[in-house]
Structure 1
Amino acid sequence: MKKTLFFLLFSIVLFGQKIETIDLSKSIKDSKNSIKSLTVIDQRANQEVGMVMYHKDEVKIIFENNASKDIQDWFYKYNPVRGNNDMFFLLEKLNISEDKKEKYSIGKLELRASTFIKKEDGYHFIDRKDTIVTVSSRTTPYLGQSLARKATLILTDLFKESYKGEPWEFSISENDLPNYDSVLKEKLSILNANELKEGVYKDYYSFFTHNPEPGFTLQANDKGVVTKAVKGEEKTGIRHFYAFVHNGIAYKNIPVGYTEIFKDENGVFIEVTKAELFPETVTTGVTIGAAAGGLIGGVIGAVVDVSLSGKRKNTVGPKVYLDPFTGNYVLPEDFGKTK
């Protein structure tokens, strides 16, 4: 009788919990066949992915085996022909959770992962994904399935972008890998510069390493608004650059123009509203979250150490930091919300 009762209780527990496996079956083929080996380092303190509810059942999201093995097997499955580079994949955060409201729930995926190429002098950063994605049960009752799929898509994008990306010139040691963020920031010239180099910066890497495009001068209209970068007969609209420095002030392009960039102890930032960064006319899908992807070529700002200048523009927007590892916006959690 006792054995029967135990079996029934055990069955009820199993029946009340479902499993959603992260499906790593999308192709991540390296078309250049440049990668020889992949090493995955899972540095998460908690190896569990997370859990959400489906009606009255708990849905646990898992890897089939574990993150390191599954991601490595995934790479080798789609890359039987390989090249000469040793890639390291650092999984820093992967967590799925649920915020229950009165009549619905919000499922949340937090994911951060980075890639490196190992060379003789150490490890060279390539790319990273650092994002938060939310899904409402009003849109789909299958929160676990939806968030697991989104995790796969983000990881897929990271691999594909890493194949195309150029490794940073700076190297770090194997011991520094867990703290690469702070170690590499110390090497970025823009964060330590007292004076800024005039000109245009084609992308976030050239901006943070303080290397403007050679030979370009800035052209302003009769109202003093910078509109073009000129190099001989070549004229390029300023909106095509990530940022620029004019009269000692740096600016970042946004969909509605450009805005000044400031600097504090946490990095460089702009002060903008949600409507300025993501106007309704912009159709590009953007994930809003504590660390969401930014739009390249939007607001422009000046990197100014306010403690030195003592001056600052009066703006109505909150601080939005620029991620030196992606060029994206790092949005406050309450960004765009009214009190």
Structure 2
Amino acid sequence: MKKLLQTASLFIAITVLSQGKEYIKFKGSIPNYGKETYKTLTVIDQREDKKIGILPFGNQKEEKEVVFLTSPGNDLGNWYKKGNDEGGSADLVLILKKLKLSVGETIGKNTSGSIDFSAQTFSKEGDQYRFLYKKDTVVTLNNKEIAELLVKNVPNVFFDLFMRTYRKRPFGNAVSINELSDYESFVRNNYAVYKSDQLKDGIYLDHVSFFNQTPEPGNYLLERNEKGEVTKALKEENGKKNKIPAYKMFAYVENGKAYKKGLSGFLDLNRNEKGFYVVSNRGYLFPAASNNTLGMFGLIGGVADAIQQGAEQKKMKKGDKFEIYIDPLTGEYDFPSEL
């Protein structure tokens, strides 16, 4: 029996050691055309599970482990250097929280798969960090060669993160590296909106002012159309009128009740122990394209087609509505992965 166990252990060890690797390749460059420039890119790998995934590749469905060529820091750092000259007073810091690839069921010739991704970016000066952007998402793909397509799209997910980061200016209080381990909890503990049950009436132009409870100064009056929909806010001071059109608002609060601006009008902004949320669906929030996967990532060509095919399988019914939370770090809709 002992010999049998030794033989089995040896077989498992040989299998693991002989398992092939599939490397994530970061091609091209990620030049920064934004207003903020950075000296270097630093990656802090905070993934609880460092394994990305073991997927079936090729016609023979050979199991291979998906890995970075060297490490997240080296691979992304070298990729960043290709398109960015050193400059600026701050460093760009990327906190990698999660990167998981998985393959799902096969329908016909195509197999589904997903990229589960979470990362945050910060601007660092000295030993202080200021928040830039965050992306938590699950990208669903559907293709005959799903494993190859998943690996190919990992750089596109990072590319999208960088492009959005470049357009952001650092905001919020500067924090030390200790707060980066759970920055979301730090923010929740410091935002004024979580310290009071009462919301301040007024107009909020962005999520930061809303969560900090600092509405636009002055006594704004809401104007509505014949349907009762808010179209603008007006205030008059010292003989001068100031107008804020509805499309420029993030939200407004009237009589202690909050309303969030969407493409199809204002929605009730509700609150529970998890945070602030609207009751809606993708089709209502994004009427031009019910699949927001394409909206999140600038993927083109055959890759975008594959994403669209996968998304069509999950298209929700018009009547279905869900609690969709507002991300306190970005102000964006935080869609559950299953929606």
Aligning the two structures, in what range does the TM-score lie when normalised by the shorter sequence?
0.7 to 0.9
Which residue among 176, 181, 193 is the counterpart of 1:178? 181
Q: 1:37 and 1:274 mapped to 2: Cα distance?
A: 37
Check the 8 A contact 1:321/1:331 in 2, yes or no: yes
Amino acid at match of 2:262: I
1:57 aligned partner? 62
1:106 aligned partner? 112
Which residue among 253, 262, 268 is the counterpart of 1:260? 268
Q: Alpha carbons of 1:169 and 1:334: their partners in 2 closer, same or farther (altered >3 Å)?
A: closer
Check the 8 A contact 1:33/1:82 in 2, yes or no: no
Check the 8 A contact 2:89/2:125 in 1, yes or no: no
1:310 aligned partner? none
Q: How does 1:41-120 map to 2 (within 5 A)?
A: 41-54=44-57, 55=59, 56-101=61-106, 103=108, 104-120=110-126
Q: Does 1:319 align with 2:323?
A: yes
Q: 1:258 and 1:166 mapped to 2: Cα distance?
A: 27
How far residue 223 of structure 1 moved from its aligned partner, in angstroms, is: 4.7
Check the 8 A contact 1:108/1:135 in 2, yes or no: yes
Q: 1:162 and 1:57 mapped to 2: Cα distance?
A: 37
Structure 2 unpaired stretches of 5+: 1-10, 298-318
Q: Secondary structure at the match of 2:29?
A: coil
Amino acid at match of 1:327: G
Note the alpha carbon deviations across 1:126-174, whole angstroms, 9 max, x for none.
11111100111xxx22223322233212211222322331212212221
**Greater CA drift, 107-116 or 73-82:** 73-82
How far residue 114 of structure 1 moved from its aligned partner, in angstroms, is: 0.6
Structure 1 unpaired stretches of 5+: 1-8, 295-314
2:28 aligned partner? 26
Note the alpha carbon deviations across 1:91-117, whole angstroms, 9 max, x for none.
000010111346442111011111112
Note the alpha carbon deviations across 1:225-246, whole angstroms, 9 max, x for none.
3221225545443133222212
Q: Does 1:135 align with 2:135?
A: no
Task: Normalising by structure 1, report the TM-score.
Answer: 0.77
Check the 8 A contact 1:52/1:58 in 2, yes or no: yes
Check the 8 A contact 1:203/1:242 in 2, yes or no: yes
Q: Alpha carbons of 1:120 and 1:217: their partners in 2 closer, same or farther (altered >3 Å)?
A: farther
Q: Secondary structure at the match of 2:51?
A: coil
1:275 aligned partner? 283
Q: 2:153 and 2:266 mapped to 1: Cα distance?
A: 32
Amino acid at match of 1:219: E
Q: 1:132 and 1:158 mapped to 2: Cα distance?
A: 13
Check the 8 A contact 1:33/1:81 in 2, yes or no: no
Q: Alpha carbons of 1:77 and 1:316: their partners in 2 closer, same or farther (altered >3 Å)?
A: closer
Note the alpha carbon deviations across 1:283-337, whole angstroms, 9 max, x for none.
486129xxx959xxxxxxxxxxxxxxxxxxxx973211111112222223443xx
Q: Secondary structure at the match of 1:186?
A: helix
Which residue among 34, 39, 43 is the counterpart of 1:40? 43
1:328 aligned partner? 332
Which residue among 243, 246, 250 is the counterpart of 1:238? 246
Which structure: greater helix fraction?
2
Q: 2:52 and 2:155 mapped to 1: Cα distance?
A: 13
Q: Does 1:187 align with 2:193?
A: no
Check the 8 A contact 1:40/1:89 in 2, yes or no: yes
Total equivalences in the alignment: 296
How far residue 33 of structure 1 moved from its aligned partner, in angstroms, is: 6.7
Q: Secondary structure at the match of 1:320?
A: strand
**RMSD of aligned residue pairs (Cα, Å):** 3.0
Note the alpha carbon deviations across 1:180-205, whole angstroms, 9 max, x for none.
11111111222333332223222222
Check the 8 A contact 1:96/1:108 in 2, yes or no: yes
Amino acid at match of 1:71: L
Q: Alpha carbons of 1:72 and 1:248: their partners in 2 closer, same or farther (altered >3 Å)?
A: same
Task: Normalising by structure 2, report the TM-score.
Answer: 0.77
Q: Secondary structure at the match of 2:173?
A: coil
Amino acid at match of 2:199: L
Q: 1:40 and 1:89 mapped to 2: Cα distance?
A: 5
Amino acid at match of 1:265: E
1:221 aligned partner? 225
Check the 8 A contact 1:126/1:168 in 2, yes or no: yes
Q: 1:243 and 1:129 mapped to 2: Cα distance?
A: 22
Note the alpha carbon deviations across 1:74-93, whole angstroms, 9 max, x for none.
12222233221022210000
Q: 2:225 and 2:320 mapped to 1: Cα distance?
A: 26
**Greater CA drift, 100-109 or 80-89:** 100-109
Q: 2:329 and 2:336 mapped to 1: Cα distance?
A: 18
